[in-house]
Structure 1
Amino acid sequence: MASLTSPHAPGAPPPEPPTGSRSKRLRISSAWLRFAVRRLASLVAIFAALLIVSFLIVQLIPGDPAVGIAGANADLADIQRVRTELGLDRPLWPRFLDHVSGVLTGDLGTSFMYRQPVETIISNRLPFTATIATTAMLAVLLISIPLGMLIGVLTRGGRRKWLDVAFGMLTGFLDSIPGYIMASFLVVMFALGIGLLPLFPPAYTPRFGAASFVLPVAAIAIGPICTISRVVRRETAVVLDTDYMRTARGWRLPALRRHLRWALPNLLTTTLTLSGLILTGMIGGAIIIESVFALPGLGSGIIKAILDRDYPVIQGMVLVIGMIAALVNLLVDILLGLIDPRTLGGPHVSA
């Protein structure tokens, strides 16, 4: 009687899964492996390029760091002594090899001006930049995607034309404002004007806490939110006009289910592809915004290092910022692969 209640006899192994399902899992696993190999090779290539660029770029900075370190009253002998202490009198090639070997062993060098390890300077400044950039990226994704979808749903099929026009004009205007101008406007309006938000970072005014990051995050995020939300609105309109979405509406399926289960995954591929480029650019925007708000992050640190001609600090910060941007792109690619496996390995991987 067991055969009447179970698909196989008691004690027998379960039936094998369909061959097509196993083949699909193998293709996806193979695609993830190829993806990992490609991305690892890409990260190695980016790291090597950053090593070369970060070393050569400081050679193009006009002026001699030994002159500033020796002081205004130093003579030629003092300047030459400082150059010898800093190793600037050595040929370029041996200095580059020392730079590479130091980085590979975790030693980014010692600051010319502060006589501190560069990794210590970066570790003290990185939390400010990481907090601002990470919070801004999360704000962009959590606001722009729902906002774009909402406007796309409300204006589907030419409905509420006034809302579509107003949304496009407002987001286009805000997106056209450079980040540093937006930051200055927010400071004048909310910090100096009505005094709603603090201007200085927690390092200077501990009582304000996280509120001190609101204006910098807003200054970085407003432009990308406008850009991505416009793309999401357009993609939403395209997805809602597809046959399967019209069929789902014909079946009277709940609107929330239709939009979250079928519309959202199909518009995220294009959205995240664009978002990866925008989020990477936001790291550079965070560096500029830090100068407006006097935040002691990597942005103000690299600007001061350039003015001081502090070569090791410039090299270390360029390397760290570049690798952070590369890791952000990698994270976006992983999210794309989880949403749509076809993005991993080309036409051989089916969703």
Structure 2
Amino acid sequence: MTGATALAGLRPGPWLTFGIRRLARFAVSLWVLVTVAFLMIQLIPGDPVRAALGLTAPAELVQAQRAALGLDHPIWQQYLDYLGGLLHGDFGTSMLTGLPVSDVLGDRLPATLLLALPAYLVVIAVAIPLGLLFAVLTRGGRRRHTELTFTSTTILLAAIPEFLVAVALVAFFSVQLGWFPVAGRDGVGSLLLPVAALALGPASVLSRIVRVETLSVLGNDFVRTARAKRLPARLVYLRHALPNALTATLTLGGLLLSGMLAGTVLVENVFAWPGLGATIARSILQKDYPMVQGIVLVYGIGVLLMNLVVDVLLAVLDPRSTIRES
């Protein structure tokens, strides 16, 4: 049964229940994330303001900064003020620059999205066709050498950290060949190497997952039936095998792509990319905790939204089993 037929056969009730449960789970996860972000400053040993301003800062300046940040209030009041500020788009104030954190986030977030979103698209566009192709080529134990080459290559590429890939790309394509800018954000050319550094490892891992899941699906009875009907190979693989293989692939792939957010921090610093990754690294070194707090919150929300999107896609591809399990 195709996803469209199964979807049409379901009543609105299960979908409504599915939506409510997923949104409730998202809301609870978001509350936990916000609470953890708030506790970041509270759990820092000593005085976070003193740590940020330095041991030689006058006591009056430290006290004034604590008052400006509301850190002289009881913790329950600080928590309520923090929640209220977030509801109004207020992520706090930088300890060092005095600028609203939301202004910095609004300035830096587009640069990170400009890097991360193309990398996600490259991973999907490369990994799914590649995994499907090698599953078809090596099905039934065929072409052992091809399977060994594919597996060995993807394992090697996936094992290399993003920052090492980034350094190698810069050394070869920028320094030696001079084809791309070494660092900074200056047109499409400056985007290609960071995107490649981010996408290479995840694409390698995801292509292996797609291959394994496709091989599993190709052994099922409904694929044998489709072949017995002498359907074109293109229809067998794309209409019958691939949608079923993507169900399990999306579950693991969603976790994999969420991990790419952490990779942007390292890659942005290698390429001096003016995004959130470079900003959070600098803020950690400078002990600008409200800035770190805001950026961690943005990254966490990005992961939660990605997981929510994956859940919805799984429900569309396999509505009956996904909704019943919810």
The normalised TM-score by structure 2 is 0.91
1:109 lines up with 2:92 in the alignment: yes
**Partner in structure 2 of residue 339 of structure 1:** 317
Q: Kindly tell me: are residues 320 and 74 of structure 1, through their superposed partners in 2, closer, same or farther at Cα, counting changes over 3 Å?
A: closer
Distance 1:74 1:239, change over 3 A: closer
Instruction: Give % identity.
Output: 45
The match for 1:307 is 285
Mapped contact 1:65–1:308 kept (Cα < 8 A): no
**1:283 aligns to what?**
261
1:69·1:82 contact (CA, 8 Å) conserved in 2? no
State the Cα distance separating 1:170 from its structure 2 match: 0.5
Superposed CA offset, 1:192-241 (max 9, x none)? 22222222232xxx3xx122121111111111111111111112222222
CA-based RMSD of the aligned residues comes to 2.4
1:244, distance to aligned residue in structure 2 (A): 2.4
Q: Does 1:41 align with 2:41?
A: no
Please tell me whether the aligned partners of residues 93 and 101 of structure 2 are also in contact (alpha carbons under 8 angstroms): yes
Distance apart, 1:323 and its partner CA: 0.9
Q: Extract unaligned runs of 5+ from structure 1.
A: 1-20
The answer to whether the 8 Å contact 2:123/2:199 transfers is: yes
* Bigger radius of gyration among the two: 1
The CA distance in 1 between the partners of 2:155 and 2:44, in whole Å, is: 37
Partner in structure 2 of residue 330 of structure 1: 308
Matches within 5 A, 1:55-70: 55-62=38-45, 64-67=47-50
* Residues in 2 aligned to 1:74 and 1:312: alpha-carbon distance in whole angstroms: 19
Q: Kindly tell me: are residues 145 and 135 of structure 1, through their superposed partners in 2, closer, same or farther at Cα, counting changes over 3 Å?
A: same
Q: Which letter maps to 2:142? A: R
In 2, the alpha carbon distance for the partners of 1:312 and 1:72 equals: 19
Alignment partner of 1:130 is 2:108: no
**In structure 2, distance between residues paired with 1:282 and 1:174:** 15
Aligned to 1:246: 224
Q: Match for 1:265: what amino acid?
A: P
**Which residue of 1 is the match for residue 214 of structure 2?**
236
Amino acid at match of 1:305: S
Q: Give distance in 1, aligned partners of 2:235 and 2:61.
A: 74
Deviates more, 1:287-296 or 1:53-62: 53-62
Cα 1:188–1:71 shift into 2, 3 Å = same
Cα-to-partner distance string for 1:49-103 (whole Å, 9 max, x where unaligned)? 1111001112334564544665675433443344334433333332222111111
Counterpart of 1:93 in 2: which secondary structure? Answer: helix
Among 52, 57, 66, the alignment partner of 2:35 is: 52
Gaps of 5+ in 2: none
> Is 1:80 the counterpart of 2:58 in the alignment?
no
1:121 aligns with 2:107: no
1:307 partner letter: L
Residues 231 and 271, structure 1, Cα contact 8 Å, conserved in 2: yes
Aligned partner (choices 62, 85, 92) of residue 75 of structure 2: 92
One-letter code aligned to 1:33: L
Q: Distance in 2 between matches of 1:181 and 1:323?
A: 27
Could you tell me how far apart the structure 2 residues matched to 1:288 and 1:46 are?
26
Aligned-partner SS, 2:273: coil
Q: Tell me what 1:15 maps to.
A: none
Identify the match of residue 321 of structure 1 among 299, 309, 314. 299
1:210 corresponds to which residue? 188
How many angstroms apart in 2 are the aligned matches of 1:180 and 1:22? 45
The CA distance in 1 between the partners of 2:7 and 2:233, in whole Å, is 31
Residue 23 and residue 122 in structure 1: after superposition, are their counterparts in 2 closer, same or farther (change >3 A)? closer
Following superposition of structure 1 onto structure 2, how do residues 121-200 of structure 1 map, counting pairs within 5 Å?
Answer: 121-200=104-183
Quote the residue 1:264 is aligned against: 242
